Amino acid sequence: MNLQNVEQARFNMIEQQIRPWNVGDAAVLDLLSIVKREDFVPLAQKSLAFVDMAIALPDGQSMLPPRVQARLLQDAAVQPTDKVLEIGTGSGYMAALLARQAQRVISLEINPEIADMARANLQRAGIHNVEVRQADGAQGAAADAPFDVILLGGSVAEVPQALLSQLKIGGRLIAIVGEEPIMHAQRITRTSATNYTSVDQWDDNAPRLNNFPQPSTFKF
């Protein structure tokens, strides 16, 4: 793909996939044209960088489709003073988008090979306010809490209390929650020391994050 074709493909991705999916935030749309998604896609899949599909990463993991990442980013409404925790770094693309909006991003990736790949991608992109840690994201990063935003880069059956307790009051957690065939993107806001409000935003499926607890299906 020559440069002109790449820019046309990026433009088409934004106008044909992302904007029609209720992503109208100008700051988010601008970021998607600036942060080069193709630089975060494994070499063998470069031609798929702008396609409306998940892209395979090592260890059976995947990079979410562009419209899903854009919608999560819009829901997070990251501010320039925010400290953000991302669970599931993947290729580092979402961390790169978050970093452009936030003051600081801590991103947890359970797979060491993927964590190394994300660090290299972010370094090449000249992004220095992201710290990628090889860690179990289900536990969060309590020592660095509280966070203004916690964003999950895959789905969970339910959001563990351990993560919710790492939100600032007024902070929000964005995640795709539930079971196939229909999962819901949720925005959970911490309203006080003990209270949270949850709003279902939209429906879509996403691959599971590792090590998050499955709720018991046993019913009395």
**Residue 2 confidence (pLDDT):** 77
CA gap 54, 42 in Å, rounded: 12
pLDDT, averaged per 10 consecutive residues of the chain (220 residues), comes to 86 96 95 96 93 92 94 96 97 98 97 97 97 95 97 92 96 93 93 95 84 65
DSSP 31-62: HHHHS-GGGGS-GGGGGGTTSSS-EE-GGG-E
For position 101, what pLDDT does the model report?
97
Q: Using CA atoms, how far apart are residues 179 and 35, in angstroms rounded to an integer? A: 32
Query: Hey, where are the domains in the chain?
Result: 3-203
In the DSSP assignment, the letter for residue 157 is S
- Predicted pLDDT of residue 111: 95
- At residue 1, the pLDDT reads 63
CATH class given for the domain over 3-203: alpha beta
- The count of residues in the chain is 220
> Which of 186, 185, 150 lies closest to 167 in space, CA to CA?
150
| Gyration radius of the chain over CA positions | 17
**pLDDT (0 to 100) of residue 216:** 60
E strands, the chain, are 55-56, 62-63, 83-87, 104-109, 130-134, 147-156, 167-179, 182-190, 196-203
Nearest residue to 6 (alpha-carbon basis) of 33, 44, 42, 45: 33
Which pLDDT value is given to residue 36? Answer: 96
Buried-state track 86-119, b at ≥16 Cβ within 10 A, e below 16: bbbbbbbbbbbbbbbbbebbbbbbbbeebbebbb
């452009």: which residue's tokens? 100
